[in-house]
Structure 1
Amino acid sequence: MNAERSPIVIAARRTPIGTRGRALAGLRVEQLAAPVLRAVLDDAATAAGAPADVADVLLGNCMGPGGNPARVAALAAGLDAAIPGGTVDRQCGSGLAAILDAAAGIRAGDGRARLAGGVESASTAPVRSVDGVAYDRAPFAPEGFPDPDMVRAAEDLATHDGIPRSRLDAHAARSHARAREALAAGRFADELVPLAGLDRDDAIGAADRLLPRLPALFPGGALTAGTATRIGDGAAAVLVAPAGAAPGLAVRAGAIVGCDPALPGIGAAPAILSALAAAGVERHQVAAFELVEAFASQSIAVLERIGVAEDDPRVCADGGALALGHPWGASGAVAVVRLFSRLVRGGAPAGTIGVAAASVGGGLGVAAVLEVVR
């Protein structure tokens, strides 16, 4: 589908990302999401010249309390009770998948807008148990399949691809340096909805200067706490509207794919290649990539598989999740908000292409190709 006929993101906001247990720890998922939904609606009304006719609210969430957080957040945001809500769980790709679902609803013929994004309060995520025995997470795969913890999977991927610690450290340091520069230049300011006294992502610069001294997480391994993201609390949302509603980012194409559950970190690569093919876009035509940098090994492995250098200035130009933090179900939506700031707020000309993508536990990849429309 070409940009002129594609659903379009006309407003995009997020909370600052607060490290788990810190500034945003006292806020439930709906308290994180509701102010962002309101800010997006206000921005969209300004952009379009009239309030949006909202058909649904779709939010990604991984580890929350249940009870359909998207519906709870919609009511908490003051939306009309007639507007439903749906919660999407594709783990770390949930927020991006929710945006693709919103675009699909418009393509299917319902010309009303959708609020979409993701929210996660890792700090208030409930403890789950079976027969009174608590566990950290649900299985990503059934018995008989590999089901590594994501930290173990990231180490295994570094081993599989032969990525040394020096490259992991350099990748994380670069993410923090770019984020510090963007923070100092005010490039996050217009996308943020401050909450609980927090007006910036609190993980920026927290670990990069310590990188050479951090111990390996596994004996003889390459991964450290500095080359793994900090788990965070936060929310991000966009308004997806029919084509022509206002300037923004047209959702040209999306892809959700599976991959080997033993190496879930590579999932974003086939998703990106599939989405680019569906959009008829070549890799060199992409001006901005936003990958969910859950681990440095994951980011490097994905970039190698799509033929993009790990230090390419197009990739997470203002830092990624290694610097900003990783609020699980919100992170894919954070990637779209970042593209909106880099390209739409940043004044990129019509036709400029951006890609958002995430690798997902259990062996999934989610990606979207978006194009600036003026």
Structure 2
Amino acid sequence: MAQSSRLRALQHKNADDVVVTMAIRSPLCKAKKGGFRDMRSDELLTEMFRQAIKHSGINSEIIEDICVGTVLPKGSTYEARSAALAAGIPESVPIQTINRFCSSGLVAVTTIASEIRAGQIDVGLAVGVESMSWNPDVGPDAASDEIKACGPAADSLQPMGWTSENVAREFSVSREDMDEFAARSFQRAEAADKAGYFAKEIVPFTAYQKDTATGARKRVTISKDDGIRYGTTKDTLLKVKSAFPQWPPSRTTGGNASQITDGAAAVLLMTRRKADELGLRVLAKYANVAISEDVDLFEINEAFASMYVHCVRKLGLDPEKVNVNGGAIAFGARQIATGLNELERRGGKVLVTSMCMGTGMGAAALFLGEFQ
């Protein structure tokens, strides 16, 4: 299909374009059981900063702002600032944190891109990080009587499992459809892992693990995701019990919802002018509009299969373009690094990444691949 005039206009290169010059991620590991189970969240973030500096191709002194998307740490800005300093980023580089639940990492990228587009900075680093081992999600505190009396306000405090069941019921998403999709997510992730597709986006992480004999912590290198369940089929998933029997129709299970995960990702953004000045390879241009038929790949956060199935149906998306290497059901969210890596491998041009989040919100972003 010929590219639309709108897409050709978006692809026009200007010195003030916001571009991505690095998109990397850690391995994604099962919380409580995986490779990062004994690693503090501030240690995970410190290592992500170290790897970002190592792979950025720049002196960290020229970074003008850092935005860290993270949800669970109680002192997130303290963790972010101290981790940056411990990783060797100068005191002169400011940092901020943002919490928008599942989309926090994506919104961190959008925040940095907006600062660059507004002319506030030329170079910025966006990071997403979460350790569900170290900071388990305990949910909201008890609500006030005023909030309880307001239907939408009270609903916004409900857990996402409740939302998943509502979606399944209201939009007639069957358990069979959910498990069929979930199985495909695992199978795609397994195939991509075996083919080595993730190797380019994953940077090996130095982690700490406890010695089972002595209890002492030792340093190990983690270089692969450990949450992909090889050999998963629809039939095996249909045997898994409901995770939320208290909320009819109770179709969500531990097999068709995202696992709890420890991991991190980093994206370096700057003006095209600055990338050219520094001699850096441009991976993609950050944009905010597109024509749907021009999209080569979609990365949708698979928090729950009910949501994914409904989105694909409602939007009329081609399943062969959506989460082609699996998604959060298989191993967690890391969508920009994975999406751009696969876009380059396919020789594609347009990536759309979107994420649901708690409290009834969502977020999306568009990237135009260049891979100079």
TM-score (norm. length: structure 1): 0.81
SS at match of 1:238: strand
Counterpart selection for 2:178 from 152, 168, 187: 168
Q: Return the offset for 1:139.
A: 7.6
* 1:2 is the counterpart of 2:10: yes
Q: Return the offset for 1:30.
A: 2.6
* 1:19 is the counterpart of 2:30: yes
Structure 1 unaligned blocks of 5 or more = 128-134, 254-278, 326-330
Q: Check conservation: 1:37, 1:115, Cα contact below 8 A.
A: no
Counterpart selection for 2:269 from 234, 240, 250: 240
CA distance in 2, matches of 1:33, 1:193: 13
* 1:199 is the counterpart of 2:217: no
CA distance in 1, matches of 2:179, 2:27: 24
Amino acid at match of 1:357: S
Amino acid at match of 1:124: W
Q: Return the offset for 1:35.
A: 2.5
1:274 aligns with none
CA distance in 2, matches of 1:234, 1:139: 29
CA distance in 1, matches of 2:53, 2:270: 11
Amino acid at match of 1:370: F
CA distance in 1, matches of 2:175, 2:185: 15
Counterpart selection for 1:227 from 256, 274, 298: 256
Q: Return the offset for 1:302.
A: 1.9
Q: Return the offset for 1:339.
A: 1.5
Amino acid at match of 1:107: R
CA distance in 1, matches of 2:176, 2:339: 29
Q: Return the offset for 1:117.
A: 2.2
Amino acid at match of 1:232: T
2:140 aligns with 137
SS at match of 2:111: helix
CA distance in 1, matches of 2:69, 2:230: 27
Q: Return the offset for 1:343.
A: 2.0
CA distance in 2, matches of 1:171, 1:97: 27
CA distance in 1, matches of 2:47, 2:168: 39
2:326 aligns with 319
Q: Check conservation: 1:16, 1:194, Cα contact below 8 A.
A: yes
* 1:214 is the counterpart of 2:240: yes
Amino acid at match of 2:139: D
SS at match of 1:239: strand
CA distance in 2, matches of 1:315, 1:140: 38
1:358 aligns with 355
Percent identity of paired positions between Structure 1 and Structure 2: 30
Q: Return the offset for 1:51.
A: 3.6
1:369 aligns with 366
* 1:249 is the counterpart of 2:258: no
2:101 aligns with 91
Q: Check conservation: 2:70, 2:76, Cα contact below 8 A.
A: no
Q: Return the offset for 1:111.
A: 4.2
Q: Return the offset for 1:340.
A: 1.9
CA distance in 2, matches of 1:28, 1:148: 28
Q: Return the offset for 1:126.
A: 6.4
Residues 84-163 of structure 1 aligned to structure 2 (within 5 Å): 84-125=94-135, 135-138=138-141, 142-143=147-148, 144=150, 145=152, 146=155, 147-163=157-173
Q: Check conservation: 1:15, 1:235, Cα contact below 8 A.
A: yes
Structure 1 vs Structure 2 CA RMSD? 2.2
User: Cα distance 1:43–1:91, how it changes in 2: closer, same or farther (>3 A)?
Assistant: same
Q: Return the offset for 1:292.
A: 0.9
Q: Which deviations, in whole Å up to 9, do the C-alpha atoms of 1:313-336 show, x marking residues without a partner?
A: 1111111000013xxxxx3xx111
CA distance in 2, matches of 1:285, 1:202: 34
* 1:39 is the counterpart of 2:55: no
SS at match of 1:205: coil
Q: Return the offset for 1:67.
A: 4.5
Q: Check conservation: 1:33, 1:236, Cα contact below 8 A.
A: no
Structure 2 unaligned blocks of 5 or more = 1-8, 208-220, 276-280
User: Cα distance 1:54–1:39, how it changes in 2: closer, same or farther (>3 A)?
Assistant: same
Q: Check conservation: 1:252, 1:369, Cα contact below 8 A.
A: yes
Aligned residue pairs total: 325
2:197 aligns with 187
CA distance in 2, matches of 1:348, 1:179: 20
Q: Return the offset for 1:140.
A: 10
